[in-house]
């Protein structure tokens, strides 16, 4: 191993250890989770939301003897970075290292976050009324079609013969979910090693590099916001989206494989209730009707 291949991962591991407690700490109290939800309601008009979830491939050299374990649907070798992002593009939770053959939903199923949401641990808040309503709704995270629909995990309606109301729901969810796209986009734009095949055969050392990038993203997001976040998607006064400059660069590969369909009846009912709320006088926002 060359000196640089040894030095860089060790430096990255040290950076992560120094920054993680202050800048990459997942909420662990009811109040901290509720503050995340307040941000999504105020900025993106999605209530009771604990974050936006997505996964991306980080291309690697396959470790010796690993065969096709890390071989993904894009015909490259990779590990997956799974991340939960708040309304201000800050990583709340990251999980990195799962092999690239597994779908987003499968990777999420192995995360400690999924277990916490499933069992309502980590002080996830109890269901709360939707704004200006007496209708209780559980706190949830938002994601794309690759994930399973759960009580705590909302995804869009399948794009087949959608009603106007369902298209409104998908638009509202998309606005909230876009923060994770932008977080990944800025991350890769600034830390461009993530756009390459990382030339280190130790997956543990690659994980150190990726985790340090995520911690530095949060550090720079807070301490040097205007400079670091330049080029992010912007919403104009009419709420049309102006794509950020990061979208002109090659992007991190979406970590999506076969779609999951194991949605529960209760989860579908909860999505329908949110859909009804977004289309009601109480839950609608004036600009939504012109965006579908």
The pLDDT value given to residue 237: 85
Domain annotation covers residue 8: no
Domain annotation covers residue 4: no
Domain annotation covers residue 176: yes
Residue 139 per-residue DSSP state:
-
* pLDDT, tens digit only, all 292 positions of the chain: 456 667 888 999 999 999 999 999 999 899 999 999 999 999 999 999 999 999 888 888 887 765 566 666 676 788 889 899 999 999 999 988 665 444 444 455 556 777 777 777 778 999 999 999 999 999 999 999 888 899 999 999 998 889 999 999 999 999 999 999 999 999 999 999 999 999 888 888 999 999 999 999 999 999 988 889 888 998 888 888 998 888 888 777 776 544 445 568 899 999 999 999 999 999 999 999 988 7
Domain annotation covers residue 175: yes
Do residues 91 and 221 lie in contact, with contact meaning Cβ atoms separated by under 8 Å?
A: no
Domain annotation covers residue 14: no
The pLDDT value given to residue 159: 84
Do residues 146 and 260 lie in contact, with contact meaning Cβ atoms separated by under 8 Å?
A: yes
DSSP string, 187-216: HHHHSGGGGS-B--S-HHHHHHHHHHHHHH
Range of the domain at 99: 25-200+229-291
The pLDDT value given to residue 258: 41
The pLDDT value given to residue 98: 64
What distances in angstroms separate CA 130 from CA 38, 59, 106, 173, one per listed residue? 12, 41, 30, 15
The domain total for the chain is 1
The pLDDT value given to residue 10: 92
The pLDDT value given to residue 165: 97
Domain annotation covers residue 52: yes
Domain annotation covers residue 36: yes
pTM of the model: 0.89
Q: Which residues contact 37 (CB under 8 A, 6 or more apart)?
A: 47, 48, 49, 50, 125, 139
Q: Which residues contact 218 (CB under 8 A, 6 or more apart)?
A: 19, 23, 24, 90, 91
Task: Output phi, psi for 159, to 5 deg.
Answer: -80, 65
Domain annotation covers residue 275: yes
The pLDDT value given to residue 248: 86
């Amino acid at each position: 191993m060359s000196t640089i291949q040894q030095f860089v991962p060790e430096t990255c591991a040290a950076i992560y250890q120094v920054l993680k407690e202050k800048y990459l700490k997942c909420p662990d109290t009811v109040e901290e989770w509720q503050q995340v939800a307040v941000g999504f309601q105020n900025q993106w008009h999605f209530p009771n939301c604990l974050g936006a979830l997505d996964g991306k491939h980080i291309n690697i050299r396959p470790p010796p003897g690993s065969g096709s374990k890390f071989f993904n649907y894009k015909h490259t070798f990779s590990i997956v970075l799974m991340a939960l992002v708040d309304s201000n593009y800050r990583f709340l939770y990251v999980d990195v290292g799962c092999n690239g053959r597994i779908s987003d939903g499968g990777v999420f199923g192995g995360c400690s976050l999924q277990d916490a949401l499933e069992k309502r641990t980590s002080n996830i808040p109890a269901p709360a009324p939707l704004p200006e309503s007496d209708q209780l709704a559980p706190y949830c995270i938002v994601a794309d079609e690759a994930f399973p629909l759960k009580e705590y995990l909302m995804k869009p309606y399948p794009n087949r013969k959608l009603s106007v109301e369902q298209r409104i729901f998908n638009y509202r969810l998309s606005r909230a979910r876009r923060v994770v796209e932008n977080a990944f986009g800025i991350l890769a734009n600034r830390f461009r090693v993530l756009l390459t095949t990382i030339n280190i055969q130790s997956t543990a050392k690659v994980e150190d590099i990726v985790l340090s990038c995520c911690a530095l993203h949060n550090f720079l997001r807070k301490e040097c916001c205007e400079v670091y976040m330049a080029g992010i998607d912007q919403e104009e006064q009419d709420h049309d989206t102006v794509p950020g400059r990061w979208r002109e660069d090659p992007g991190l590969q979406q970590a999506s494989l076969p779609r999951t369909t194991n949605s529960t009846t209760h989860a579908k009912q909860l999505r329908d209730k949110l859909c009804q709320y977004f289309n009601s006088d109480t839950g609608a926002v004036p600009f939504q009707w012109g965006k579908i």
